[in-house]
Chains A and B, each alone.
Chain A
Amino acid sequence: MGIEELRREILEEAERKVNEILSEARAEADKIIRDAEEKARMIRLSREQEVRKRMEERLRSELSLARIEGKKLIVNTKWEVVDQVFKTAWERFTGFRGSKEYYGDFLPRMIALGVNKIGVDEVLIHVNKEDATRLKGLLGKLSKDVSKLVGRNIKIGLANDYLDIVGGVVVSDVEEKVYFNASFEALFNRAREELAVSIFELLFGGG
């Protein structure tokens, strides 16, 4: 083998080796990029799923809150109507105060109720200033009406103090130890306690 041939062979071998090294490196680099692209794709996919999941949860949570608010609105609306019923009844009731029926029928019946509750034959009645002025001259008739309602003789006295009430009467024994409260305010509060649920059911069918 001549020197020139030997030289060429060495250089060709080196060239083959160089090509092999570079070719392997490029293949490895391609694989690194492909793997990274796949990993990046998976990361993006996973992050997208996370975002969608988080937003789905937020959607559910916000809609759930909106439904709770909606249900509260319904309940509040129903109770507002119930309140309106009581307000209207109260206005009508206070408008009734001072009428002929108020003095001639309502007060005697309330006093008779008080007499029966307290269980005495002599009572004091406590009213507001306006009613006190009006009733001063009517105590005899009032006693007669109440006696008729109770079925025995009842003596009625007017208390010296006035009550700060819209109307109605508070009945007590003469020692003022036992009271029966039939003031408008007390009756109204009792009506609210006793009738609210029935009114609710009447208006909305118990729903």
Chain B
Amino acid sequence: MSSEIDMLLEIEREAEKRILDARAEAEKIIADAKRRAGELIREAESIEFRDIEAEYLDRIRVEKEKVIAEYNSMAKELRDKSRDKFSEAVNMVYKWLLEGGVE
């Protein structure tokens, strides 16, 4: 009878140990998951989107060139257009100078 009780106690201890080991393993599983979660967040926080920036810088360059070209063309058009009245304007100033500013 006594040996049977001893045997049962031994079995109980073994069962208890397996449960304790399982709890330790469970804690490790959760700790690993938390570590991996931390890595995922840090990776997300450090991402820099260089490709998006490069895409925008290219777009900025192209659109700026368009604006500059547009205004250069307007300036050229103005210079061309001013030729129509250039002589008249020179005559106006020259006449004013000859008259000493008197109408």
Give A residues with C-beta under 8 Å from B.
3, 6-7, 10-11, 13-15, 17-18, 21-22, 24-26, 28-30, 32-33, 35-37, 39-41, 43-44, 47-48, 51-52, 55-56, 58-59, 62-63, 66-67, 69-71, 73-74, 77-78, 81-82, 84-86, 88-89, 92-93, 96, 106, 109-110, 113, 182, 184, 187-188, 190-191, 194-195, 198-199, 202-204
Contact = CB atoms under 8 A, between A and B. Distances in A.
A142 B15 CA distance: 137
B67 A7 contact: no
B73 to A, nearest CB: 10
A202 B64 contact: no
Contact of A47 (B18, B49, B64, B102): B49
Given A17-B22, A21-B22, 17 more contacts: A7-B11, A10-B12, A10-B15, A18-B19, A21-B19, A36-B41, A40-B40, A43-B41, A48-B49, A56-B56, A59-B56, A73-B75, A74-B78, A77-B78, A202-B88, A203-B85, A203-B89
Interface residues of B, number: 65
B28 to A, nearest CB: 8
Interface string B22-54: 110111011011101110110111010100110
Instruction: Return the 3 tightest CB-CB contacts between A and B, nearest first.
Output: A70-B71, A36-B37, A25-B26
Interface string B83-103: 001101110111011111110
A33 to B, nearest CB: 5
A165 B39 CA distance: 83
Could you tell me the dominant secondary structure of chain B's interface residues? helix
Contacts of B79: 77, 81
Given A10-B11, A110-B100, A22 B26 contact: yes
A14 B9 CA distance: 14
Nearest to A76: B75
Contacts of A109: 99-100
23 contacts: A7-B11, A17-B19, A25-B29, A25-B30, A32-B30, A32-B37, A39-B40, A47-B45, A58-B56, A59-B56, A67-B67, A78-B82, A81-B78, A81-B82, A85-B93, A86-B93, A88-B86, A184-B97, A188-B97, A190-B101, A191-B96, A191-B97, A199-B92
